[in-house]
């Protein structure tokens, strides 16, 4: 509510909220007044159901109405103490962002010394420490598993972190740089330059680089096109360039799929991968532990 671009909307929301509370109070008050004249009997609204049950136009029971009044009073007290009336912050000045920051500060005081202990150690030493790896695993499950999976095996568009294939390099310092600063991998769409048949030719040449099933005639036609458009990033031998995050096309590790259809899609439409930077969010100590844990994953599996 504090991010309104105009004060008008703050007043608008506050007005709607106040009017709603007042209208509800008026409506409930209207149900407390008997509409029957002295001596007049209640009218039957519903003849009968379930045998002999009838609905009359009597006022609502007092105890029921009091419950409504209690909720209205609670709403007024809440709106005085907490945000709810436009940009008004409430007497307590509470906000979800402030509560999160407070909880993060408490967590930093409690767990900070544990993380800082490992920050002073070499990444490979931390990766070899079972206790540190367990702590790093919990951090990974909290902050990284949504994309890379709980087993770090990745998914389409999200790299597998347990093998020895790395887009930007798999040494500890590079992994830490990747987590700290994030990465942005962009491949342009080549369909406008190649045309439909040209895309298929290059796709088959790419398939041939890794020894996958391909059309030899189309691959031969795509080799020259690959040399013209693709070698700047993937290099003449197709083994990629870690400085740019351009993948190696000669192995059988595929970020978006290694079928002809998937490769055609990649060449035609391009790809735009993004990993957000985590340093500002997590702090150097947590990033250090995460980097050590990720490094250890590729050291324990072939």
**Dihedral-angle region of residue 273 (phi above 0 means left; psi in -120 to 50 means alpha; beta otherwise):** beta
Q: Return the SS3 of 271.
A: strand
User: Is 80 exceeded by the pLDDT of residue 275?
Assistant: yes
Strands (E), 52-133: 53-56
- Asked whether residue 166 is assigned to any structural domain, the reply reads yes
Query: Which CATH number goes with the domain that contains 153?
Result: 1.10.760.10
pLDDT at residue number 3 = 60
pLDDT tens, 57-109? 666 778 888 899 999 999 999 999 999 888 888 898 888 888 888 888 898 88
Residue 52: name the closest of 60, 44, 41 by CA.
44
Give the span between the Cα atoms of 239 and 235, in whole angstroms.
Answer: 6
- Asked whether residue 122 is assigned to any structural domain, the reply reads yes
The total domain count for the chain is 3
Paired with 44 in beta bridges are 56
HEC string for 191-232: HHHHHHHHHHHHHHHHHHHCCCCCCHHHHHHHHHHHHHHCHH
Which of 24-38, 78-92, 204-218 has the highest average model confidence (pLDDT)? 204-218
Can you give the pTM of this predicted structure?
0.71
pLDDT at residue number 274 = 93
Burial class for 158, CB neighbours closer than 10 Å (0-12, 13-18, 19+): middle
Same domain membership, residue 158 and residue 285 = yes
Q: Which residues form the domain of 241?
A: 185-275
User: Is 50 exceeded by the pLDDT of residue 197?
Assistant: yes
H or E stretch at 269: helix 260-269
Higher pLDDT, 137 or 63: 137
Where among 51, 68, 94 does a domain terminate?
94
pLDDT band at 46 (very low <50, low <70, confident <90, very high): low
User: Is 70 exceeded by the pLDDT of residue 184?
Assistant: yes
Same domain membership, residue 281 and residue 174 = yes
Same domain membership, residue 50 and residue 78 = yes
């Amino acid at each position: 509510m504090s991010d309104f671009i105009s004060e008008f909307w703050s007043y608008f929301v506050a007005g709607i909220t106040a009017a709603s509370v007042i209208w509800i109070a008026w409506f409930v008050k209207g149900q407390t007044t008997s509409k029957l004249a002295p001596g007049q009997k209640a009218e039957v609204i519903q003849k009968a159901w379930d045998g002999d049950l009838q609905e009359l136009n009597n006022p609502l029971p007092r105890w029921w109405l009091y419950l409504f009044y209690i909720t209205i009073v609670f709403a007024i007290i809440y709106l005085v103490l907490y945000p709810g009336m436009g940009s008004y912050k409430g007497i307590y000045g509470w906000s979800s962002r402030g509560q999160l920051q407070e909880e993060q500060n408490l967590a930093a005081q409690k767990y900070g010394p544990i993380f800082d202990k490992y920050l002073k150690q070499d990444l490979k030493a931390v990766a070899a420490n079972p206790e540190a790896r367990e702590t790093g695993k919990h951090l990974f499950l909290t902050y990284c598993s949504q994309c890379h999976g709980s087993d770090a095996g990745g998914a389409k568009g999200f790299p597998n972190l347990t093998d020895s294939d790395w887009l930007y390099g798999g040494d500890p310092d590079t992994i830490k740089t990747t987590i700290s600063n994030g990465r942005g991998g962009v491949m342009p769409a080549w369909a406008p330059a190649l045309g439909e048949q040209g895309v298929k030719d290059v796709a088959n040449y790419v398939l041939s680089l890794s020894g996958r099933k391909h059309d030899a005639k189309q691959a031969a036609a795509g080799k020259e096109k690959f040399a013209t458009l693709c070698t700047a990033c993937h290099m003449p031998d197709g083994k990629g360039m870690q400085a740019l995050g351009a993948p190696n096309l000669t192995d059988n590790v595929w970020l978006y799929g290694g079928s002809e259809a998937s490769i055609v899609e990649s060449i035609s439409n391009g790809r735009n991968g993004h990993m957000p930077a985590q340093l500002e969010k997590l702090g150097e100590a947590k990033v250090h532990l995460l980097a050590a844990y990720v490094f250890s994953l590729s050291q324990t599996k072939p």
